[in-house]
């Protein structure tokens, strides 16, 4: 049996989380058009006859002096050491540029265990040739070993070839999780992430980085048989400023109602029991500069 930890790394919005979801066949990691959506190491798992692959989705790698970005960058970087295999994802619709060069530099010690995925090949603007040139220049050994794969994380094109290669090169080992597991995330974390995704996708571009979700209260209700009947959750969408709170709430509370109903719909599709969500908005000024909050939230 094969068993491997596989870290997915790349620039913000390269499509790392989309890939993870496509591989697992479930919504494991939240996705949005806004860069820096993922803030944690998210595990997604697949088990086949050949063995088990455990994928670790990471925050988009982005250099910036802000404390918040340092945390995210460290999370992504720290996932490399422990990984058996690294999937380096490039968005072929964007020119490589300086940021891509920095990632390649970071990956240098791990080239021998790195596969390059050229993503978004389904889009008109995709230019895999430019991405291949970039890799050829900075990491010729990866090209030489045939470890470059064109894919579309969105449509799934080319993804099976990557999985087959992963099973081929994965080390021997026993599975770490039961075979029906596709993620190890706790319900509380999944609720927070789904609500954050809906809030990002229903907000203006400048808002998403300023929000996080806090669970104030969560209670499982059981049937007499001991089965879970209902999960009752009270959550807060937390913004940095009053003005942002206003945007999240929307005119007559319209926006927050929409965030709540879209979140509820998705949560009820994910969990095998009914989820009741009570969602409110509050302000926590400058939370992105607060170490205590960041430590609790980003891990």
- Asked if 38 interacts with Mg ion (CB under 5 A), we say yes
Give 3 or 79: the residue with its C-beta nearer to ligand GTP.
79
**CA dist 87 to 12, 197, 241, 280, Å?**
14, 24, 37, 38
The span from the CA of 94 to the CA of 75, in Å, is: 24
**Pairing outcome for strands 51-57 and 42-48:** antiparallel
- Draw the binding track, 101-120, toward ligand GTP (x: CB under 6 A; -: no contact): ------------------xx
Distance CA 115, CA 145 (A): 9
CB atoms within 10 A of CB 142: 20
* 8 A C-beta contact, residue 177 and residue 183: no
Is residue 138 within the footprint of ligand GTP (CB under 6 A)? no
Work out whether 18 is an interface residue with Mg ion (CB under 5 A).
Answer: no
Q: Which C-beta is closer to Mg ion: that of 153 or that of 191?
A: 153
CA angle, 268 as apex, 163 and 52 as ends, to 5°?
Answer: 20
Binding window for Mg ion (CB under 5 A); candidates: 37-45, 94-102, 140-148, 171-179: 37-45
Nearer to ligand GTP among residue 3 and residue 183 (C-beta): 183
Determine the interface stretch with ligand GTP among 14-22, 42-50, 174-182, 223-231 (rule: CB under 6 A).
Answer: 14-22
187-201 and 254-270 helices cross at what angle (nearest 10)? 140
Residue 18 interacts, among ligand GTP, Mg ion, none and using kind-specific CB cut-offs from 5 to 8 Å, with ligand GTP
Binding site residues, Mg ion, CB under 5 A? 16-17, 37-38
List residues binding ligand GTP (CB under 6 A).
Answer: 10, 12-18, 31-33, 35-38, 59-60, 119-120, 122-123, 152-154
């Amino acid at each position: 049996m094969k068993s491997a930890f596989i870290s997915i790394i790349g620039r913000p919005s390269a499509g790392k989380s989309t890939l993870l979801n496509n591989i697992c066949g479930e919504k494991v990691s939240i996705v949005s058009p806004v860069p820096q959506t993922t803030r944690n190491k998210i595990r997604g798992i697949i088990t086949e006859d050949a063995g088990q692959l455990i994928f670790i989705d990471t925050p988009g790698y982005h250099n910036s002096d802000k404390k918040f970005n340092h945390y995210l960058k460290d999370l992504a970087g720290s996932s490399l050491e422990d990984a058996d295999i690294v999937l380096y994802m490039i968005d072929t619709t964007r020119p490589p540029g300086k940021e891509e060069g920095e990632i390649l530099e970071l990956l240098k010690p791990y080239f021998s265990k790195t596969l390059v995925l050229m993503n978004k090949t389904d889009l008109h603007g995709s230019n895999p040739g430019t991405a291949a040139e970039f890799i050829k220049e900075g990491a010729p050994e990866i090209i030489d070993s045939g470890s470059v794969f064109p894919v579309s994380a969105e449509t799934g094109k080319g993804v099976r070839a990557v999985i087959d290669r992963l099973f081929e090169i994965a080390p021997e080992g026993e599975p770490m999780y039961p075979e029906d597991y596709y993620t190890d995330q706790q319900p509380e974390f999944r609720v927070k992430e789904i609500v954050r995704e809906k809030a990002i996708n229903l907000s203006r571009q400048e808002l998403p980085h300023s929000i996080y979700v806090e669970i104030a209260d969560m209670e499982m209700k059981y049937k007499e048989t001991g089965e879970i009947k209902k999960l009752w959750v009270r959550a807060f969408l937390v913004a940095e400023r009053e003005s942002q709170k206003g945007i999240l709430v929307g005119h007559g509370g319209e926006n927050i109602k929409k965030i709540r109903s879209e979140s509820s719909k998705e949560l009820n599709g994910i969990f095998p029991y009914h989820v009741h969500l009570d969602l409110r908005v509050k302000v926590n000024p400058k939370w992105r500069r607060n170490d205590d909050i960041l430590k609790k939230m980003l891990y």
